[in-house]
Structure 1
Amino acid sequence: MHNPFLERSFHIRWSELSAEHVVPAVEFALADAEQKIDVITQLAPGNVTYQNTFLALEKATELLNETWAKVSHLTTVADSAALRDANNVMLPKVSAFYARIPLNAELWLRIKQASGQPAVAQLAGEHRRFVNETLADFRQQGADLPADKKARLEALQGELAQLTQKYSENVLDATNAWELIITDEHRLAGLPLHARESARQSALKKGFGSEAAPAWRFTLPMPSQEPVMLYAEDASLRQQVWQAATQVGVQAPHDNRELVRRILALRQEKAELLGQPHFADLTLARRMAKNGAQALAFIEGLHDRVQLAFARECRELEAFKSEQLKTPLSPLAPWETGFWAERLRRTRYDFNEEQLRPYFSLSGVLTGMFEITRRVFGITVTEQPAGKVEVWHPEVKFYEVRDRVGRHIGSFYTDWHPRETKRGGAWMNYLVTGGKHHGTRAPHLGLMCGNMTPSVDGKPALLTHREVETVFHEFGHLLHHLFGEVEIKSLNGVNVAWDFVELPSQIMENWCWERESLDLFARHHETGERIPDALFERLVAAKNFRSAVATMRQLTFARLDLALHLRAQDFADGDISEKLKKVLSSYLVPTDPPAPTMENRFTHIFADPTGYAAGYYSYKWAEVLDADAFMRFKREGIFSEKVGTEFVEKILSRGNSADPMELFVDFMGRPPDQQALLTRAGLL
């Protein structure tokens, strides 16, 4: 059938991908995959081989994978009622199909029979890894369950897919539903000029105010919210924005509280069906942490090492506010912490992050980042002319990536600024997995999305340093995909253990702090001057300002996640937030009033059937890996072609072709050392 979603052209015709094509395309791709799996299940037991079982199963879902990837991507960047409806019609069917694969008794029989063949036993390298991973996948997802439990597991998976999709929609809709219109300019005192102008332009676009009588519109995406929380002198303005942000997911018609309870119950039931005590052990069995207890021990161990510094930093901020206002020492309100922390940083280091913004035009950051990766990893990134390749929105750009010998290793899209039809946050994803096949190598296709500070009045988009880190972070994920040289697509690129996947992304952030690399892209957008030495020194001096609080914030999210997925039964009734506050009492910044916990808007762990659920610890786990691995670049040169080549050959190109610890040790010559992280954070 002719359907644009089914076309497998490398250059996707986005203009033709409309909502009415979704259902017929996905139904066709599902039928195609079913038919190919049926061929495997009908093989005579004596005729099974590695090629007609394992490799045939790998190929069976390729069309469905690519078709569904386009649908899923559009729901995140071009949301509409028609697309959402079509997605929600097919989501349960797609989820149920993938859940059925390991529950197919005839398929599992052929897979097991093939795995016992002498030729399969002789396999080595990535093909041996593929056999082992496939067998583990089937067992972990219920292949050995009796028929009644398989049926329940399949139904449960479908329900989880629907509930987590609804959770995600609620967060997006609640975020978009809130706006604050200010007409009194005095309330904007302290806000940077770019934030004021952006808010004024936003108001005009929505029909508020005029050039003669301006109004200012504030919303919840970070480019609008963050400047208010850090700089607005009007405490009531900060309180309004903070309260709106914390109410996402807890107010009708976008209330996620019962969804959270039901998702947790289903995950716990799934774990028990599969013979595990809780979802954490089920999820982590094949990750680096191995089980929930080890993940928890890792988080609690870091917590204990930073707790004294965390308490000291909290007291320092309270004392600073008390001294500045000549008021008694007391806990801050939660909408005060960012504001007073920024004031303290400015006082202590004479440093304001807004001073750096003129040096970080988005175009300059990208050009510099591409130059860094040219030097280190040997790739050339070239933006394609507008109109040469179709995109899904006029702001989207398309790039081509070639390696040292001119080989086209992949291409990618970028989509950097907020829209109401686009979900929040920043992410990397992929649409096509190329790689090696029969002596040839096809290019990969990926994308990077974000919600960065947009341009105003035709001026360049000027980023904060944290936004620059985010751009580098997502490009690290993208490089992991683009460099993939694994023949088995499901083992390629970012398809690795979730506590390993952040190593390539987080290591890239390190180049945002080095003078040599900053000089390649941190140039004043008007004068072309590099960051002055004095300002750079203040940036570095302030790098670890309140690093214990920042560390504890990440540990809080990880501990919350593990609490919910290690002991789901404790949250089956009652107020989940209040129960979590008790678990997190030594992790949370003491405020008055206490801040609510964020489980109702925590899309990392609740917007996907699995996602980062029981795995949010991965960010800190991978920080240990990246801090340690970057020490090698520091020793041998941050632009070292030798080290960069080894990182590509031993990490980025290998995907999940070997155990992640084996890959890390191959690159570093030893297991990871936690000291590097604590040293980098100034906590030793």
Structure 2
Amino acid sequence: MNLLTTPFNTAHDTAPFSSIQQSDFLPAFEDAITETRNEIDQLVANSKPADFENTIAALAYSGMKLDRISNIFFNLHSAETNDELDKIAQEIAPKLSKLSNDITLNKDLFERIKTVYSKKEQFNLSVEQLTLLEKNYKDFVRNGALLPEDKKQQLRDIDAELSVLKLKYGEHVLADSNAYQMHLLDPVELAGLPEGAIEAAHELAKEQEKEGWLITLDYPSYIPFMTYAENRARREELAIAAGKKAFQTNDNNNEELVLRIVNLRHQRANLLGYPTHAHFVLEERMAKDPETVKTFLNDLLEKGKPAAENEFAELSAFAKEIDGIAQLEKWDSAYYSEKLKQLKFNLDDEKLKPYFKLENVLQGAFDIANRLFDINFKEVGTIDKYHPDVQTFEVRDNLGGLVAIFYADFFPRKGKRNGAWMTSFKPQYIQDGNNERPHVSIVCNFTKPTATKPSLLTFNEVTTLFHEFGHALHGMLANTTYPTLSGTSVYWDFVELPSQVMENWCYEEEALALFAKHYETGASLPMEYVEKIKESAAFLEGLATVRQLSFGLLDMGWHGQDPSAIKSVKTFELEQFANTNIYPDIADNAMSPSFSHIFNGGYSSGYYSYKWAEVLDADAFEYFKENGIFNKEVAKKFKDNILSKGGTMHPMELYKAFRGKEPSVEPLLRRAGLID
């Protein structure tokens, strides 16, 4: 019996990870694909006239088994992969792409949708139903329903190839990340490194039965070394290794894949009647079109670049004064930034870390969610997990009703990609009177506990945890009827609002008092540190802003024009970075071959979303600040109009229902110190 194709019979219908065999996945996918096809065939064969329930709602609830299997498989493929899962992913991706095409290019199905769409005024639809209908109709049109048969085949071929290329791209990045290690045998080379980072490097070496210390490209290893290691040559070596991921002469090189992906995306857009991939994507975003995005990014660049250049000059002068550095390089950035921050604010991340024990920070996020949204988290041992490091929680409301299941996976390992993300194993939806509650997960790469120390977070990691937890709240508090509109199923330039707004609580004394306590003494974070955290919030914000804008502009460069004439990834990048480059270029490095957000994730033509959502989050948090950061009325508005509503309305309408007005850019510029 294949567990994946039968009811799970587990606590809260959670995935039975420890009982699933890798060999179960392919037959389970085949079974679920067949079932989905049958559901679509039945929908199309319905002899009754097309209406909302028998066509649009039926389509929304089709393929639920396949979605469940896909969620389990692809989340494991990101957080706990191996060669076998990689092979399965390569085999199944084109089959899923074919199914998707078979549905969106099904002429008879589209005719039923079109019939309902043309008579929508007759059906007395709710706002959510109308949104679902319009989304379905647009999705079919935007994905080829109106194309002639020969063009439909071209679309199928492109989608099938893209599905495989994106997977290969991600596997190459992970392989190059895992392949690099800096093996240190001389303790002199560890000068400047915090004790915890040295201990972690030694334990990693011990795990591999090696002498000395190992430094890797995993963030908990990489970031402390780049921030504190006095050995400039070793910092250079590590920085270049990080920048060479999938951009070196080996089997993992992604340059050809990048060029192929952007050209296929452009061809696809043209086939569907759009000038570029960016035009196609942005039609269904708040920003609407590439011109709006470019104007938005360049306006911020105009405000941020003078500050960035002043900050770079200050940092360069500081490095020259204390160490005689003639030219500040990228591998000097974190090191001298930290030293200057310590000098200016007497604030050292290493002094802060003892107050940010991972378990306390997580509990702090839970406590803040409880104060704002009346939900409670309880760790339980009855829920199966895919790795011993994973923690599992029941989330309940104040009356004891189940809100969600929450998984937390915090530490790096070989089969896990770098970075941090939120995902779900099961969405929220309402069917047959049952409100199915979501199973949500956050995945991070924080420093593991050692023999002598718990996992202690940098302040940046604290904000990362709150960021992903904000996404998780968006999933957990969802309360919509249809799974395709639930939780984070919103416009991509709106999805970062709940995550980014949560970061703001990390800077507030009232919130820090809940969780920032010394892991040995239990003493609260001293007030002077709280003040310094707030004072330093805009430290080097000009450089950070320009860096973020450069990524958004690179994304628009790849996707906002015809890329067919581009022959060299590196040359193209240099052109795109011409207006944003502050540091000298590193010839051996390129960003695009490992820019997973846009080539393997969902952010192509959407990387600007982070900055766009910062405008929303700064404006939203200003509303909280005006009324109190734990104000129940404002929190209820945020929960009712943003977190619970998913994609049931246009995001600007949701935002205005919460805030009472459209967002203003001024709060962001003030917060970043770019205006008074």
**Equivalent residues in 2 for 1:537-616 (5 A)?**
537-569=531-563, 572-573=566-567, 575-591=568-584, 593=586, 596-608=589-601, 611-616=602-607
Task: Pick one of 223, 230, 235 that aligns with 2:232.
Answer: 235
Unaligned runs of 5+ residues in structure 1 are 210-214
CA contact (8 A) 2:5 2:32 kept: no
CA contact (8 A) 1:4 1:16 kept: no
Amino acid at match of 1:598: M
Alignment match, 2:611: 620
- Percent of aligned pairs with the same amino acid: 36
The C-alpha deviation readout for 1:299-340, integer Å capped at 9, x for no partner, is 11100111111111111111111222346xx43122112211
Q: TM-score, normalised by structure 1?
A: 0.96
Note if 1:245 corresponds to 2:248: no
Alignment match, 2:316: 318
Alignment match, 2:633: 642
Alignment match, 1:18: 21
Q: Cα offset for 1:622?
A: 0.3
| 2:668 partner SS | helix
Distance, in Å, in 2 between the alignment partners of 1:326 and 1:449 is 41
CA RMSD of superposed structures (Å): 1.5
Distance, in Å, in 1 between the alignment partners of 2:527 and 2:120 is 65
Alignment match, 1:3: 3
Alignment match, 1:32: 35
Alignment match, 2:454: 460
The C-alpha deviation readout for 1:45-92, integer Å capped at 9, x for no partner, is x62221111111112111111111111011112211222212221111
Note if 1:218 corresponds to 2:219: no
Distance, in Å, in 2 between the alignment partners of 1:595 and 1:638 is 46
Note if 1:657 corresponds to 2:655: no
The C-alpha deviation readout for 1:191-232, integer Å capped at 9, x for no partner, is 0000000000000000101xxxxx000100110001111110
| 1:430 partner SS | strand
CA contact (8 A) 1:605 1:616 kept: yes
Alignment match, 2:667: 676
Alignment match, 1:104: 106
Task: Pick one of 358, 362, 381 that aligns with 1:362.
Answer: 358
Q: Cα offset for 1:398?
A: 0.5
CA contact (8 A) 1:25 1:67 kept: yes
Judged with a 3 Å threshold, the aligned counterparts in structure 2 of structure 1 residues 637 and 58 are, in CA distance, closer, same or farther, namely same
The C-alpha deviation readout for 1:392-416, integer Å capped at 9, x for no partner, is 1111110111123322111111110
Note if 1:404 corresponds to 2:398: yes
Distance, in Å, in 1 between the alignment partners of 2:168 and 2:31 is 25
Note if 1:418 corresponds to 2:412: yes
Q: Cα offset for 1:267?
A: 0.3
Larger deviation: 534-543 or 630-639?
Answer: 534-543
The C-alpha deviation readout for 1:629-673, integer Å capped at 9, x for no partner, is 001110111111111111110110000110000000111111010
Alignment match, 2:495: 501
Amino acid at match of 1:115: Y
The C-alpha deviation readout for 1:145-202, integer Å capped at 9, x for no partner, is 1111111111111110100000000000110011111000001000000000000000
Alignment match, 1:435: 429
CA contact (8 A) 2:507 2:530 kept: no
Judged with a 3 Å threshold, the aligned counterparts in structure 2 of structure 1 residues 444 and 326 are, in CA distance, closer, same or farther, namely closer
Judged with a 3 Å threshold, the aligned counterparts in structure 2 of structure 1 residues 478 and 120 are, in CA distance, closer, same or farther, namely farther
Distance, in Å, in 2 between the alignment partners of 1:354 and 1:104 is 59
| 2:306 partner SS | helix
Note if 1:667 corresponds to 2:658: yes
Distance, in Å, in 1 between the alignment partners of 2:539 and 2:656 is 32
Note if 1:340 corresponds to 2:336: yes
CA contact (8 A) 1:48 1:110 kept: yes
Amino acid at match of 1:349: F
Distance, in Å, in 2 between the alignment partners of 1:676 and 1:606 is 32
Larger deviation: 110-119 or 294-303?
Answer: 110-119
Distance, in Å, in 2 between the alignment partners of 1:54 and 1:254 is 43
Distance, in Å, in 1 between the alignment partners of 2:168 and 2:487 is 29
| 2:350 partner SS | helix
Distance, in Å, in 1 between the alignment partners of 2:121 and 2:67 is 29
Aligned length: 671
Distance, in Å, in 1 between the alignment partners of 2:587 and 2:545 is 19
Larger deviation: 308-317 or 97-106?
Answer: 97-106
| 2:422 partner SS | strand
Alignment match, 2:505: 511
CA contact (8 A) 2:8 2:16 kept: no
CA contact (8 A) 1:416 1:450 kept: yes
Task: Pick one of 178, 181, 184 that aligns with 2:186.
Answer: 184
Distance, in Å, in 2 between the alignment partners of 1:6 and 1:290 is 42
Amino acid at match of 1:400: E
Task: Pick one of 137, 153, 156 that aligns with 1:154.
Answer: 156
Distance, in Å, in 2 between the alignment partners of 1:194 and 1:6 is 46
The C-alpha deviation readout for 1:117-168, integer Å capped at 9, x for no partner, is 4675421210111111111111111111111111111111111010000000
Amino acid at match of 1:242: A
| 1:520 partner SS | helix
Distance, in Å, in 1 between the alignment partners of 2:564 and 2:43 is 44
Distance, in Å, in 2 between the alignment partners of 1:668 and 1:674 is 14
Task: Pick one of 88, 91, 94 that aligns with 1:89.
Answer: 91
CA contact (8 A) 1:519 1:531 kept: yes
Q: Cα offset for 1:620?
A: 0.4
Alignment match, 2:383: 389
Q: Cα offset for 1:550?
A: 0.7
Amino acid at match of 2:633: K
Distance, in Å, in 2 between the alignment partners of 1:507 and 1:673 is 15
Judged with a 3 Å threshold, the aligned counterparts in structure 2 of structure 1 residues 41 and 436 are, in CA distance, closer, same or farther, namely closer
Unaligned runs of 5+ residues in structure 2 are none
| 2:386 partner SS | coil
Q: TM-score, normalised by structure 2?
A: 0.97
Alignment match, 1:490: 484
Judged with a 3 Å threshold, the aligned counterparts in structure 2 of structure 1 residues 458 and 107 are, in CA distance, closer, same or farther, namely farther
Distance, in Å, in 2 between the alignment partners of 1:288 and 1:479 is 22
Distance, in Å, in 2 between the alignment partners of 1:453 and 1:354 is 13
Alignment match, 1:212: none
Distance, in Å, in 2 between the alignment partners of 1:125 and 1:516 is 38
Distance, in Å, in 2 between the alignment partners of 1:593 and 1:505 is 33
Judged with a 3 Å threshold, the aligned counterparts in structure 2 of structure 1 residues 571 and 420 are, in CA distance, closer, same or farther, namely farther
Alignment match, 1:262: 260
Distance, in Å, in 1 between the alignment partners of 2:452 and 2:613 is 39
The C-alpha deviation readout for 1:425-448, integer Å capped at 9, x for no partner, is 111101112333344322111111
Q: Cα offset for 1:6?
A: 4.8
Judged with a 3 Å threshold, the aligned counterparts in structure 2 of structure 1 residues 642 and 595 are, in CA distance, closer, same or farther, namely farther
Distance, in Å, in 1 between the alignment partners of 2:96 and 2:133 is 24
CA contact (8 A) 1:434 1:443 kept: yes
Distance, in Å, in 1 between the alignment partners of 2:36 and 2:452 is 48
